[in-house]
């Protein structure tokens, strides 16, 4: 029988660490957790680019703490329910993108691809780093890779938002 972990979303760090509770989805918690970035993306879409970047840094630094604390609570380094890293990674993916269903879908697919496949340096970060920083680092890099792809696809006109 699989071990049950005690999460308590009444604790603020767990509420955020679990991506507003989306990480508690019974299947594909990382995919559901990624959707937790949508309100942040919509709220900040009209912000200047520099402010979106500052916000990405803030939610990433915050994520190091909330993911680390939540992992300590359940004594599992990167429990699948801890999804704030996906929230931050998808937010990073969408920095500066024109909001449309196409851009969101392409960004979502690219981010999930890089997060799951973990090519090259993303895999290295995932294996070498620990604690809250380790939980966040690979998703931040996956977000940066996805951001580059989204910008290249839409800014070159290959895809139209």
Convert the pLDDT of each residue in 78-101 to its tens digit. 899 999 999 999 999 999 998 999
pTM confidence score: 0.94
Residue that the structure tokens 């851009």 belong to: 103
Asked, for residue 135, whether it belongs to a domain, the answer is yes
Q: For residue 76, is it within any domain?
A: yes
More confident residue, 155 or 15: 15
Domain assignment present for 142: yes
> Are residues 100 and 50 in contact, defined by beta-carbon separation less than 8 angstroms?
no
Say if 78 falls within a structural domain.
Answer: yes
Q: Which of 30-34, 125-129, 157-161 has the lowest mean pLDDT?
A: 157-161
Range of the domain at 143: 29-156
- Residue 4 in any domain: the answer is no
Mean pLDDT of 10-36: 96
9 found inside a domain: no
Q: Which residues of 21-46 are buried (b: 16+ CB within 10 A; e: fewer)?
A: bbbbbeeebbbbbbbbbeebbeebee
Q: Mean per-residue pLDDT for 108-132?
A: 93
Q: Residue 65 domain-assigned?
A: yes
Tell how far CA 66 is from the center of its chain: 13
Asked, for residue 14, whether it belongs to a domain, the answer is no
- Report the number of distinct structural domains present in the chain: 1
Q: What is the mean pLDDT of the chain?
A: 93
């Amino acid at each position: 029988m699989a071990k049950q972990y005690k999460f308590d979303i009444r604790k603020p760090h767990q509420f955020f660490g679990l991506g507003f509770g989306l990480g508690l989805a019974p299947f594909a918690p990382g995919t559901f957790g990624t959707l937790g970035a949508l309100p942040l993306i919509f709220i900040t879409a009209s912000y200047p680019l520099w402010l979106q970047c500052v916000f990405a840094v803030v939610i990433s630094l915050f994520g190091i703490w909330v993911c680390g604390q939540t992992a300590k609570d359940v004594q599992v380094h990167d429990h699948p329910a801890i999804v704030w890293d996906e929230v931050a990674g998808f937010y990073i993916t969408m920095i500066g993108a024109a909001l449309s269903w196409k851009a969101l879908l392409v960004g979502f697919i690219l981010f999930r691809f890089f997060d799951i496949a973990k090519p090259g340096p993303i895999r290295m970060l995932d294996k070498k780093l620990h604690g809250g920083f380790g939980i966040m680092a690979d998703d931040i890099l996956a977000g940066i890779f996805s951001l580059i792809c989204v910008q290249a696809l839409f800014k070159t006109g290959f895809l139209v938002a």
